[in-house]
Structure 1
Amino acid sequence: MHSWFYSFFIPALFVWLWSTGFIGAKYGLPFAEPFTLLLLRMLITLALLAGLAWFLKARWPGWRGAGHLAITGLLVHGCYLGAVYYAIDEGMAAGIVSLIVGLQPLVTSGVAVLVLKESVSGRQWLGLALGFVGVALVLLEKFGTDAPSGSGMTLWSLLWALLALAGISLGTVYQKRHGTGADLVSGTLIQYAAAATLFAVGAFALESREVEWSLQLQLSMAWLVLGVSVSAILLLMWLIRQGAASQVASLFYLVPPVTATQAYLLFDERLGGLAMVGGIVAITGVALVVVRKKPA
């Protein structure tokens, strides 16, 4: 029981918390523009993390390390979250957005081969191929003439989703290449601060910054801050300290189906037959890439 709890339940809880970020975004976006909503989320999160860093007496990196963390934050949080929110704001289904950005392990593996000169096994190459074929099937249905009404798939929403995928993939490779070994609380705070700066520039340059403080927005903001930005990160820190980060990576391919299930129950987002097949193929491909064989 003890072993099962730590090896499966806790990593699965982290993945579920991460998947709710797409749902929380869809709940909050009707009441604030994407960059404005994200700026508010980051500012509240930064205040909480600053208090936590003070309480835990977190170690702070030097200027060089902080610079690398800031660049990672701009890519992993700024580019990724900003583009995800704009894709959803443009009308793309939350389940489809999560499926596209869920290709991150595949894209990261491809970039790692080119940049970090990492080797890729035959099984992983098969996974890469299946992942992109699966998403192609989803897009084929969504852009086809028989696409379900209200699917929300437009060229702009697709471009935003692809930008999010590029941001988190490049950010992951950058962090791997320029890892600073920084304290996770202070490192996360620096990354969020860099992302908040990007959101502030976007909000003041492109948006009206009008916010309708409805109960739905307040509940959405509370969950995005406490449930995703804080709890998920703290849970990840605990998993890393327990040496269970590999389980998190292995379960990450479950994020798209978990998100799609929640979106169906909460927003009645439906996938046609071809899209469902494509989703299964894509998830299988990601699984082949991230799930490593146990050594003999």
Structure 2
Amino acid sequence: MTDAPTMPGRHPLLWPLMATALVIGWSSGFVGIRFTNEEASVVLLLFWRMLLSGLILLPFALVFGPRLRLGAVLPQVGFGVLSMFLYLGGFALAIEQRVPTGLVALISDLLPLAVVALSQPLLGERLSGRQWLGTAIAVAGVLIVSLDSLSVGTAPLWAYAMTVGSMLVFALASVLHKGRRSLHMPVHQSLCIHTLTGALLFGLCALAVGDGLRPPMTRDFAIGMAWLVLIATFAAYSVYYTSLRLFPVAKVTAAIYLSPPVTMIWAWALFGEPLTGAMFVGLAVTLAGVWMTSRG
């Protein structure tokens, strides 16, 4: 993989800090879902997550940054369909069809592997032998962390295909975002368009299945929404999109391998779920793999 050239003024700690923020934000989605999953259906949850995120960003998107023109907005709408509706919605549908949550999480966390496979032919970003070895080690760490929660389940075959397809869709979207300058607008504007696109589509789905659009007026739903909007959406996606512009796409997504063990730390700190020895072993193995993959 050929790293992006060092730009004048880029601090050597920039990537470690951004990678840390990305992992914390990416893994935090579990917390919001944990608070809200008994309060609303997954589709309704995703509708309100997208709608609140988009409405908060809308005034800033209209006032700050270049004027939003149709030619710039339409590619962002397409990217929003891929990265918000198909990616998040595909996993949500798989879970509702009783694909085991551990298996869904494992397939989701293999996103960097798919990005690596796509970035070479589409972007010309090649990994060295050492970086391929680091990727293999990181995947092994993810498998160790996920081993205790894995099961096959009895969901229909198409639901399993949906999980893989959702992950591949987001991998493709990430590579396209890196390679197409037409998608490069200020992050607050692009994220606003993506989330409002997702809100429209998830809202239509909620109406179609009879869930309605009224949110549960409970404390846990409000806490979960605040967490999903501020951390799992604003922090995670803003850092992700910004990182894609500054660093090679495979390097950025490699940090996501650390999401499973960090998610377990969230679960231990906030909900008292036990930590296992396998988690610490997996974390150490994954850290070693990500370090090897991310080196220039």
Which TM-score tier does this pair reach, normalised by the shorter chain? 0.7 to 0.9
**Could you tell me which amino acid in structure 1 is paired with residue 64 of structure 2?**
L
Deviations 1:250-276 (A, max 9, x none): 754433221111123334555766676
Give identity over the alignment, percent.
Answer: 28
**What's the CA shift string for 1:43-91, capped at 9, x where partnerless?**
111111111123324432542x433222221222222222444566658
| Residue pair 1:66, 1:190 contacting (<8 A) in 2 also | yes
Q: Find the partner of 2:267 among 263, 267, 289.
A: 263
Matches within 5 A, 1:45-84: 45-63=53-71, 65-84=72-91
Residue in 1 that maps onto 2:198: 195
Partners of 1:49 and 1:185 within 8 A in 2: yes
- Structure 1 residues 171 and 98: CA distance shift in structure 2, 3 A: same
After superposition, the Cα gap between the structure-2 partners of 1:230 and 1:22, relative to the gap in structure 1 and judged at 3 Å, is same
TM-score of the pair, normalised by structure 2: 0.74
1:119 aligns with 2:122: no
Instruction: Mark the CA change 1:244 to 1:126 in structure 2 (over 3 Å): closer, same or farther.
Output: closer
Distance 1:237 1:105 in 2: 15
Structure 1 residues 10 and 138: CA distance shift in structure 2, 3 A: closer
Q: Which amino acid aligns with 1:216?
A: D
Q: Which residue is equivalent to 1:15? A: 23
Please list, as runs of the form range in 1=range in 2, the aligned pairs for 1:92-103 lying within 5 A after superposition.
92=100, 99-103=106-110
Distance 2:101 2:284 in 1: 17
Please say which of residues 200-209 and 27-36 is displaced more in the overlay: 200-209
Letter in 2 for 1:292: R
Residue aligning to 1:33:
41
Residue 262 to residue 42, structure 1, CA distance change in 2 (3 Å): same
Q: For the structure 1 residues 276 and 201, does the alpha-carbon distance in structure 2 shift closer, same or farther, using more than 3 Å as the test?
A: farther
User: Residue 101 of structure 1: CA displacement?
Assistant: 2.3
Report the alpha carbon displacement of residue 20 of structure 1 after superposing the two structures with TM.
Answer: 1.3
Amino acid at match of 1:165: M
Gap regions ≥5 residues in structure 2: 1-10
Counterpart residue number, 2:177: 175
Q: Distance in 2 between matches of 1:160 and 1:34?
A: 16
Q: Is the 8 A contact 1:72 1:172 kept in 2?
A: no
Whole-angstrom distance in 1 between the partners of 2:154 and 2:169? 18
Matched, 1:208 2:211: yes
CA distance in structure 2 between the aligned counterparts of 1:54 and 1:229, rounded to whole angstroms: 19
Q: Structure 1 residues 115 and 245 mapped into 2: Cα distance closer, same or farther (>3 Å)?
A: closer
| TM-score for both structures, normalised by structure 1 | 0.74
Alignment size in residue pairs: 279
Q: C-alpha distance in 1, partners of 2:126/2:195?
A: 32
- How far does the alpha carbon of each residue in 1:15-37 deviate from its partner, in whole angstroms, 9 at most, with x for none? 32332122111211111111111
Distance 1:160 1:292, change over 3 A: same
Residue number in structure 2 paired with 1:147:
none
Distance in 1 (CA, whole Å) between partners of 2:190 and 2:198 is 13
Alignment of 1:182-261 (within 5 A): 182-206=185-209, 208-209=211-212, 211-233=215-237, 251-261=255-265
Shift of 1:141: 4.7
Q: CA deviation at 1:114?
A: 3.9
Aligned residue identity for 2:25: L
**How many angstroms apart in 2 are the aligned matches of 1:256 and 1:173?**
23
Q: Is the 8 A contact 1:103 1:131 kept in 2?
A: no
Deviation string, structure 1 residues 191-225 (Cα, Å, up to 9, x no partner): 22222233123222335237432110011112222
The one-letter amino acid of 2:186's match is: D
Q: Which residue of 2 aligns with 1:148?
A: none
One-letter amino acid of the structure 2 residue matched with residue 29 of structure 1:
N
Q: Are the aligned partners of 2:139 and 2:257 in contact in 1 as well (CA < 8 Å)?
A: no
CA distance change for structure 1 residues 281 and 206 in 2, over 3 Å: closer, same or farther? farther
- SS of the residue corresponding to residue 181 of structure 2 reads coil
What secondary structure is seen at the aligned counterpart in 2 of 1:31?
coil
1-side partners of 2:217 and 2:173: how far apart? 33
**Gapped regions of structure 1 (runs ≥ 5):** 145-152
